[in-house]
Amino acid sequence: LGLRPKRTLRLVLWTGEEQGGVGARQYYQLHKENISNFDIVMESDEGTFQPSGLGFSGSAEARDIVGEILTLLQPINVTDLYDTADGTDISYWMRDGVPG
C-alpha cells in the first residue's frame, strides 16, 4: 500500500513469562534508558479467540487516541475499550508511565 509509519514500530517476541517474566524483565533492563521514546506498549496474551476490544491504562489524551484506533477495527467488531490493562510483559513500562 506504500504506507510508512511516522515513528519506528517495534515488535518484540520473547519467552519466559511463565518462568517469572524473565524475557520481559531483561528487555526492560536493556531499553529502559530510552523510555521517553516509547509511546505505548501492548500485550496480547489471551490465546486464540475473537477479540472484542482493548484494555487500556494511561492518560485521558492517550485513551482518546486508542479510541480513534478502535474505529479502524470496527470492521472486525473490535469496539470495546476497557478501563484497565495489565500484563506481565508490559507491567515494567506501565509502572514507569508508558500507556499500555
Q: Which residues are marked as active site? A: 17
Alpha-carbon 3 to chain mean position: 21
- What whole-number distance in Å separates Cα of residue 44 and Cα of residue 95? 18
**From the CA atom positions of the chain, what is the Rg in Å?**
14
> What is d(CA 21, CA 59) in angstroms, rounded to the nearest whole number?
26
Contact 29, 96 (CB under 8 A): no
Eight-class DSSP state of 83: S
